[in-house]
Amino acid sequence: MEENNSGASQNNLDEQPFTITVFGKTGTGKSTTLNALFGLSCKTDPSVACTIEPQIAHFEKGHHIEKPIRVVDMPGIGESIDADMQYLPYYEKWIPETHSLVWVTQADTRAYKRDEIFLNHLLPLLHPSLFFTVALNRIDHLGVDEGEKSFDITTKQPSQAQLQILPEKIDDVYRLFKGVLKTTVLFEKHQIVPYSAVHRWGLDTLKTTIFTRRETLC
């Protein structure tokens, strides 16, 4: 019976448009990222949650994907525990239909507890064919509070100091997410993509990673 259900779920996924579901903590730049990646016009506000229910955009075939593309912008988590639980049914609906799941978080913080807690809630929804990407935004702010040289807005490139501390940041984020995901879905360090949505550094790499098809990794 379990094998039949699994096959039915996979068949249902195969029939869906190539679906990219994007979520993460409120304030990490999720909507700004979507606007930059896909030319959308999601409302953005650094202090107020703008997305309170899933927003869906449809596109034609592209990026070597031989089917229509659907991008789902999910409400941000971490606003409150009650709000997170209120949004959970949206994830229960969309994750089973998702091919590429994108978790937007930020480089300029050490506070990932809400990411960890909510990801644990989602574990039963994750399926083996899912491709999981951690989009590590705000690389332009990395290390600035510790006195490191800031992002060069003229060349739109991280400083050498930022590039030097970036591997350590990626290692930290990888340990956290891998510790939660374990073997639920395939997750390797290269699936963490640092970028700056505001300055558009790293966006091409992020977009290419998001469109990775899980079957190419098998």
> Element (H or E) spanning 140, and its range?
none
Task: For residue 13, name the pLDDT band (cuts at 50, 70, 90).
Answer: confident
On the question of pLDDT at 43 being above 70, the answer is: no
Nearest-angstrom CA–CA distance, 158 and 48: 28
Average pLDDT over residues 120-149: 88
Q: How many CB atoms lie within 10 A of CB 101?
A: 26
Instruction: Give the domain ranges of the chain.
Output: 2-212
How confident is the model at residue 143, as a pLDDT? 85
Least confident of 76-80, 94-98, 137-141, 165-169: 76-80
On the question of pLDDT at 190 being above 60, the answer is: yes
Nearest-angstrom CA–CA distance, 75 and 22: 9
- Tell me which residue has tokens 């360090």: 189
Strands (E), 122-174: 131-137
How confident is the model at residue 1, as a pLDDT? 27
CA distances from 91 to 97, 118, 124, 145, 165 (A): 10, 11, 11, 34, 34
How confident is the model at residue 203, as a pLDDT? 95
Supply the angle between the helices 113-122 and 160-181 in degrees, to the nearest 10. 40
- Encode burial over 66-92: b for 16+ CB neighbours within 10 A, e otherwise: eeebbbbbbbbbbbeeebbeebeebbe
pLDDT in tens, 64-112: 667 889 999 998 887 777 877 888 889 999 999 999 999 999 998 888 8
The listed range with the strongest mean pLDDT (18-32, 135-149, 158-172) is 158-172
The one-letter code for the residue type at 187 is F
> Element (H or E) spanning 204, and its range?
helix 203-210
Task: For residue 40, name the pLDDT band (cuts at 50, 70, 90).
Answer: confident
How confident is the model at residue 3, as a pLDDT? 35
| Domain range 2-212, CATH class | alpha beta
